[in-house]
Structures are given as C-alpha cells and as structure tokens.
Structure 1
Amino acid sequence: MTRITGGHVDEVDRSILAQLTEDARRSVTTIAENVHISRAHAYNRVARLQEQGIITKYTALVDPLKAGLRSSAYVTLKVRQHSWRELREQLKAIPEVHHIALVGGDFDVILLVRAVDNTDLRRVVFDQLQNMPGVLDTQTFLVFEDLDTR
C-alpha cells in the first residue's frame, strides 16, 4: 500500500482514482460498476478520498488551441533563496500560468504558460515573470505540439 496524506490507498482506491481521472463527471453508480463494488461502498470511498485530500478538486481538461490559447511555453525560473512562498502566491495569480512546480536541478521553478499568441506570451515572460522580486533568471521553451497522455 502507498501512504498519501495520512490515508492508505489500495487497489480499489487506485481504480476509483483512474475512473475519475478519465472522466471527473462519471457517476458513482458507473464507478461502482466498473470497479466491481457496491454503489454505497464506492460513494464512501470517494468521500474518504476527498476528506483525506487525495482528491483535491474536479476539473475539465481543455484543449488549449480550441480555447484560443495558441502559444504555450515552459518557463524555468531561478529564484532567490527563501523567496518561494511569496513567489508561489504571485505566480498563482497570473491567469496564463497553468502549472507551477518547484524542482531541483539547474533551475528552481518550472511553469507551463499558455497565452493567446506570442505577443501575449512575451508580455507574461518579460513584463510579469522577469519583473517579480525574487526572480533572478528565466528561460523559455516554446511548445510546438501538446499531447495529452490521459
């Protein structure tokens, strides 16, 4: 068993999580049928996974091109030591930033930035990210093609 956020995750939980990852709108009845457990048992499992913070939210997966976000890039940041907590909140407030990760290696943070076009992407990188206190350096990697593996 894998220990996550104070709770045990077993094979049934993993199957439920896979069902919800594939389609967050899937009904508890359908999940129960697919996982081969009772509806009540599935409902209790999903509730427990939510209470333990394993399921944190339900969301839609959006095709960025069809949503008008024609320019995407991974942007790496080198940041001043001890600036992460404040910087994290500022990054979360930028609508074009779709994913934030604190990482180890040659840089400290990696972002997925999605914008309507290259002009908008440039504005986010040069006017917002590079001007944040605590950001020492950025590097931008344009995304030519996105593939969703889920």
Structure 2
Amino acid sequence: MNGASPPRLDETDERLLALLRVDARRPIAQLAKDLDISRGLLYSRLARLEEEGVVDGYTVRLGPAFSGSRVRAHMMIKTLPRCHREVEQALAEIPLVQAVFAISGEYDVIAMLEADDTAQLNDLIDEIGLFEGVERTTTSVILATKLER
C-alpha cells in the first residue's frame, strides 16, 4: 500500500475481524451465520481483506493455562544514536522476544519479552542490556493481563 490510502472497512468487516481475533479457526459456515451473510460473500470478503493486507495471516493464541505459567515483561530500550536498526535486528534474533515496537519519547524501542520463569527473564534482560548500542533499559514485569485482543 505504498502511499495508497488504507482500506475502508464497513461494519461487517469490523465484526468479521473481531470474530477472527477471538477464534480464527471458527468454521466459515459459523462465521457466515454469525454475520448473517452467505458463505460465498464471506469467502470474497476474506479474500479482499487478505489481498488488501488487512489480514496478514492467522496465528495461535496461547491458552490461559500455558500463558499464565509464563513470565512476560515490557522492556523499554534507549539506543545510542544511529544504533536503532542494529538493536532491533539483534532483538529479532531472540525467540523469547515476542514483539519489537519503535516508539517516540525518551526511549526508542519497546520489546515484549516472554520467559519460562524469572531466572530466564533475568538472564534475557541482562543479555539485551549488553547489546552494542543499548544505552539504557527499563523493564516492567506484567503481573496480570486485563484485556488482550
């Protein structure tokens, strides 16, 4: 979509996306019924949403029994000037880093971390803090998830 305006979504598209966020494996027949549209129309909407880049893929959402056993944290990272790209690339190489966001403000990056336990999280925090180009970090451990879509 280089320079193009973002796709326009109608109410049915928005409802479809909300249903897929809850359960992307919901059968087509059930989605069509929930949206009160034909299966053919649903297939064409999904194809359009994928073609326009609104839907980029389908993924797994971890169950609460497993994800509740994990230790998750947000790590804010301030990089040295001109080191953003290298730090982002180094973060991308670590499987325990779930997401990396460029941000504005005092810090340059937020990394979403997930570990088996606090010892593994501590080692990960130490490892990232030693990356070439990392000036300073601040980490907040997530105690509870109140809403996640």
- TM-score bucket of the superposed structures, by smaller chain: 0.7 to 0.9
Is the 1:69–1:115 contact (alpha carbons within 8 Å) kept by the matching residues of 2?
no
Same amino acid, percent of matched pairs: 32
Match of 2:118 in 1: 118
Residues 51 and 83 of structure 1, relative CA distance in 2, 3 Å threshold: farther
- Kindly provide the CA deviation profile for residues 92-145 of structure 1, in whole angstroms up to 9, marking residues without a partner as x: 221111122111122111122111111111111112x11222221111112222
Residues 21 and 43 of structure 1, relative CA distance in 2, 3 Å threshold: same
The reply to whether residue 104 of structure 1 matches residue 104 of structure 2 is yes
Match of 2:23 in 1: 23
Please, which moves more after superposition, 137-146 or 14-23? 137-146
The reply to whether residue 134 of structure 1 matches residue 146 of structure 2 is no
| Unaligned segments of structure 2, at least 5 residues | none
Residues 56 and 145 of structure 1, relative CA distance in 2, 3 Å threshold: same
- Kindly provide the CA deviation profile for residues 19-72 of structure 1, in whole angstroms up to 9, marking residues without a partner as x: 111111012221111111111111011011111111111112114662585322
The reply to whether residue 85 of structure 1 matches residue 85 of structure 2 is yes
SS in structure 2 at match of 1:7:
coil
Match of 2:72 in 1: 72
The number of residues matched between the two structures is: 146
- Kindly provide the CA deviation profile for residues 64-100 of structure 1, in whole angstroms up to 9, marking residues without a partner as x: 6625853222111001333333332321221111122
